[in-house]
Structure 1
Amino acid sequence: MTLMQRLQGGSVDFILTDPPYLVRYRDRRGRTVANDNNAVWLKPAFAEMHRVLKPGRLAVSFYGWNHVDRFMEAWRKAGFRVVGHLVFVKSYASSQRFVRYHHEQAYVLAKGDAAPPAQPIADVLPWDYTGNRMHPTQKPLRPLEQIIRAFSKPGELVLDPFCGSGSTLLAAARSGRDYLGMELEHRHQLTASLRVHSGMA
């Protein structure tokens, strides 16, 4: 949040982010996600995202389905308006309990009166398997590129304040956008920087 507070208000064209889901996540190798065990950051972070986003522009945020009420409250309190929902279909189950989890999800959020894109993307998109090699919740590039190309223009600035291994940043670079990422954990900062500068998928 400290880094976002340094940004000028209304300086970002599009936000694409995958924040912690508030589920105390631990993958099969025992890796965890910072701040996934509390919601102290949730409302302040989205308030800052709303502040730095230009009026009439969009943000896309992944979220944890079992805490959608808390995310929705944070988005609306910040001033965002929900304008769409995306589902990403996996060919594999990422985990299972009462059901097998075969999808990810994200909401499309607007700051003010945002215009629809010239070519809207489908609200159901395929999800490529990454193996989570670089991060416990690593996102694939293809759907991120589709989102970035739909909701921003070449040369515009894409922000990801929870950039993890840098997938959003690399997708933005490959789509001809400028990018700005923030990450709390130093090891992931290094991974993101290496990926972006080397073009490592």
Structure 2
Amino acid sequence: MINKNIIYNKNCIKGMLDLPDNSVQMILTDPPYLVNYKDRSGRSVANDMASNSDWLIPAFNEMYRVLENNRYAVVFYGWNEVDKFVNAWRKAGFRIIGHFVFYKKYASNARTVKKHMEYRHECAYLLAKGYPQSCEVLPSVMGWNYTGNEFHPTQKPVDLLLKLINAFCPTGGIVLDPFMGSASTALACIQSEIFDYLGYELDNNYFNIAMSRINEKSNKLRQVVSQESPKHKVIKPHYKYNLQNKKPESKNRRLPPPANDDYFINRARKMQGVQNG
């Protein structure tokens, strides 16, 4: 057993050494791109220097070890240092099985690119440990909702991360993010109510921001639950495994709105009218 729904304020390579083999069901992460990135307000990311890529191979070696056999990893990366990332993935044992492009409606603050073109996309590779079973098929090109980067200079949209988790993590699985940043991966898991998370964040400031965002999200969910009528409680979706297409499918048992006493009285009258013919 490992601790879950927790973020550690420590180096992820050292942290993952404490995890057993084959202990998480998906990896979703956005590591430093090795591009010396700074946003418009001057914020940067730790270990993002192009001259410092020594952490890549040991980090992905550990990710491969702790990921269950026949599972997926989705890794964002810097396109101009892609050779270093691909080398680290293959040395660890990952197979490259897919590639995503996320198009933006705005240009990122990438100074080196702006000399020649506007940077209006993000990229991620779909990796596999072993040979995972078929999953939900996603388009290779998807949209990107602007986050405003309020909490982190390379902040990812929670809704997009949740879409990736739903597609590539088994229901109830643990999603590992070794470069947690401001906790967008964790928020996606919390929002889903069916996935757990585990992560590491080296930077003290971003770690504190991550904790604040998680606490705020958890408090909002608790308020929603406490405001539900005890008589007409909204029931969480239940999932079953579809043997035909080998996908989990939702059996949503939510009561139709407004689902109050008048609703049930009116429905009973309608049913009585049908019976009386």
TM superposition score category, shorter chain reference: over 0.9
Which one of the candidate residues 114, 124, 128 is aligned to 2:141? Answer: 124
Which one of the candidate residues 116, 124, 129 is aligned to 1:98? Answer: 116
- 3-state SS of 1:181 partner: strand
For 1:162, the aligned partner's letter is F
Map of 2:61 onto structure 1: 47
- TM-score scaled by structure 2? 0.70
Q: How does 1:184-199 map to 2 (within 5 A)?
A: 184-199=202-217
- Quick one: percent identity of the two aligned structures? 53
- 3-state SS of 2:46 partner: coil
Task: Provide the rounded CA distance (Å) in 2 between the counterparts of 1:198 and 1:2.
Answer: 29
- 3-state SS of 2:155 partner: coil
Map of 1:148 onto structure 2: 165
- The question of 1:179 aligning with 2:197 is answered yes
- The question of 1:135 aligning with 2:152 is answered yes
For 1:194, the aligned partner's letter is S
Map of 1:5 onto structure 2: 17
- 3-state SS of 1:110 partner: strand
Q: Return the offset for 1:125.
A: 1.2
Which 4+ stretches in 1 moved above 6 angstroms?
A: none
Task: Provide the rounded CA distance (Å) in 1 between the counterparts of 2:147 and 2:163.
Answer: 17
Task: Provide the rounded CA distance (Å) in 2 between the counterparts of 1:11 and 1:97.
Answer: 44
Question: Deviation digits for residues 112-167 of structure 1, max 9, x if unmatched?
Answer: 111220x2111111101111110111111111010000001331100000000000
- 3-state SS of 2:125 partner: strand
Larger radius of gyration: 2
- Report how many residues are paired: 200
Task: Provide the rounded CA distance (Å) in 2 between the counterparts of 1:126 and 1:169.
Answer: 21
- 3-state SS of 2:159 partner: helix
- 3-state SS of 2:149 partner: coil
- The question of 1:73 aligning with 2:91 is answered no
CA RMSD of the aligned region, Å? 1.3
Task: Provide the rounded CA distance (Å) in 2 between the counterparts of 1:186 and 1:147.
Answer: 27
For 2:116, the aligned partner's letter is F
Map of 1:162 onto structure 2: 179
Task: Provide the rounded CA distance (Å) in 1 between the counterparts of 2:94 and 2:75.
Answer: 11
Q: Return the offset for 1:11.
A: 0.1
